[in-house]
Amino acid sequence: MIKSFSIVFFSLFVCTASAQINELGITVGASNTIGDIGSTQYVNPTDVGFGLQYRWNRSPRHSWRVNYTYIPVSGDDKKSDMPFRKERGLAFENKLHELALGLEFNFFEFDLHNEWFAFTPYVYTGVAGFSYKDSYFNSKNQHITLEGSEYALAIPISVGVKALMNKRLVVSAEVGFRYTFMDNIDGNDPVLRNTSIQKFGNINSNDWYVFTGLSVTYTFGKNPCYCLPINN
């Protein structure tokens, strides 16, 4: 967390700031995967997750953000719109724990000096690390989850809208796609190397997972001074 500090800057700009505006809050939402089992819809929130969010507003146009999110995911071929998946009838569950750091860019100036209300669409990207359970399907098409956790990286790409309410609360709605650097969230390409375990699906295409959520954050710290040029 960023502590309060004072900066005196003499150059083209002059400004005194006691602290940047910080935000801390909670996120709730639901998730889905884009992989080799279950529905092929890109945004299909089915499994409820939650998390914590910290945002440091560096300027009215951009913020640095840290998120921890618990993201359960599942898939069921019976809910797919693809006939061969429905006939295959596989299903899986997994639980992801994600930690992400990234930059949020506002399309409009999101000035927290406003007396009452501010609004903007935004985009967010960065890097994420997550843990998951490695798994596979046995000869009876049963989903087997292994002990211990595996770790992987992902690239989050999110779009959302947010609004400042009563000068203290920021409400955000967001859809976030995560491209992962692995292909076994759903058990089709296990890390476990065993010739008796069969891989299936498109093992040349990595998994995606999507989290659609609503965040409420509380702002604290003195308003930043977004500096203006000196007029001679």
Model confidence over 137-187: pLDDT tens digits? 988 888 999 989 999 999 999 999 999 988 889 999 999 999 999 999 999
What pLDDT was estimated at residue 224? 53
What's residue 11's pLDDT? 29
pLDDT of residue 165: 87
What would the pLDDT profile of 191-226 be if each residue is shown by its tens digit?
766 656 778 888 889 999 999 999 999 998 765 555
Mean pLDDT within 74-80 = 95
Averaged over 47-66, what is the pLDDT?
96
Q: What confidence score (pLDDT) does residue 108 get?
A: 94
What pLDDT sits at residue 220?
Answer: 87
106's CB contacts (< 8 A; 6+ apart) are 60, 61, 62, 63, 120, 121, 122
- Per-residue confidence (pLDDT) for residue 179, from 0 to 100: 98
Exposure b/e, 69-94, CB count within 10 A at least 16 = b: bebebbbbbeebeeeebeeeebbbbb
Domains of the chain: 21-220 (2.40.160.20)
pLDDT tens for residues 13-56?
233 333 458 999 999 999 999 999 999 999 999 999 999 999 99
The yes-or-no verdict on residue 65 having pLDDT over 80 is yes
Radius of gyration (C-alpha) of the chain in whole angstroms: 22
